[in-house]
Amino acid sequence: MARTIRNKPSLTRFLSSPIPFLRRISTSRSPQTLAFEEVRSSSTDRTPDFTAFVLHGLLGSGRNWRSFARTLAPSLSNSSPSSDWRMVLVDMRNHGRSADIEGLSPPHDMANAAKDVADLVNAQGWAWPDVVLGHSMGGKVALQFTESCARGDYGESAQLPKQLWVLDSVPGKVNPERNSDGEVEKVLQTLQTLPKSIPSRRNYRPGLFEAEKDAWLTLWLVDHMIKLGFSKSLSEWIGSNLKKSGEHETWAFNLEGAVDMFNSYRETDYWPLLEHPPKGMEVSIVRAENSDRWDTDVIQRLESLANRRVDESEGKFSVHVLPNSGHWVHVDNPKGLLEIMAPRIASLA
């Protein structure tokens, strides 16, 4: 059984470049559905021809994928000039702007995280997504979404995505003993040792402006993490997850709920779905070449599945290796990731 780790921030880096056709959508009309942003391949307001959902990793948010979506969407339209693509960058429960949404009740697991996506589709009155891609924990949410869709959990109107992309996410249970040296685990365990309260404002030098106080607080946390042996970039990402809540500083996520999601991520197993993909869809796993997530036996099992013969009663399955990349595929080698994904997704048009 996977061990429970408390106080678990993860490591996704921010990609917040301005994009021309970004629409941030308010959740005021449907307070119990996920917050999200849209990236469109054009500025038109007409109903898009195709939709892709993008699901981030643990303690990330949809904005982590803005830059990649900004590149992917127009490249798909360029491949088929008559097609208009919409990328929906979701903030999953307990994360980003969805962390403060009431009504996303526990249990905080992969099943409910996937159901949130289905509820968002229904609440917005959209057609079901043509493509779902998920990174890290988001990869397992994407797998669960597909499995539940195929099982009929979302009703008769639900339609399977034509393509599912699982980005550097191990599909089976994660063995905590064999994966104890991973970067995520080290960070999570270290964060347990942080002071329960970040230095209060009374510890600041007199005369600092509010903005300077906020910057000082972030710098304190970054410096603290660097002293513990973490890289500057990773430490800065951790510091960026601080937000003001009255006179206190808190994390920009629902920590307890995210902890539950992390444990569910470790304990769920989607090998049966990969072994028998639903008819009419393609399931693709992208494994980062330098990622620390993959055991040799898992890699061999994936390759065996990809090389086997399948009949027309089942869908397709493929494995791709992203060179020159660690776990953060959209940061380490976004061009390479685009070269793997774009031609296959564009073939849907």
Q: What is the pLDDT of residue 196?
A: 52
Domain ranges in the chain with CATH number 3.40.50.1820: 36-175+268-347
Low-confidence stretches of the chain (pLDDT < 70) are 1-31, 176-185, 188-189, 191-214, 245-248
Give the pLDDT score at 210. 52
Question: How confident is the model at residue 214, as a pLDDT?
Answer: 58
Q: What is the distance between the alpha carbons of residues 210 and 115, in angstroms, rounded to a whole number? A: 41
7: left (phi over 0), alpha (psi -120 to 50) or beta: left
pLDDT of residue 1: 37
Residue 277 is classified by DSSP as P
230-236-242 Cα angle (round to 5): 120
pLDDT of residue 332: 93
Termini Cα distance of the chain: 43
Q: What is the pLDDT of residue 219?
A: 83
Going from the C-alpha of 148 to that of each of 38, 91, 118, 143, the distances in angstroms are 24, 20, 10, 9
Q: Which CATH superfamily is domain 36-175+268-347 in?
A: Alpha/Beta hydrolase fold, catalytic domain (3.40.50.1820)
Residue 297 has, within 13 A of its CA and on its CB side, a CA count of: 5
For 45-79, the pLDDT digits (tens) are 788 999 999 999 988 899 999 999 999 999 998 88
pTM of this structure: 0.84
| 190-204 per-position pLDDT tens digit | 766 666 555 544 454
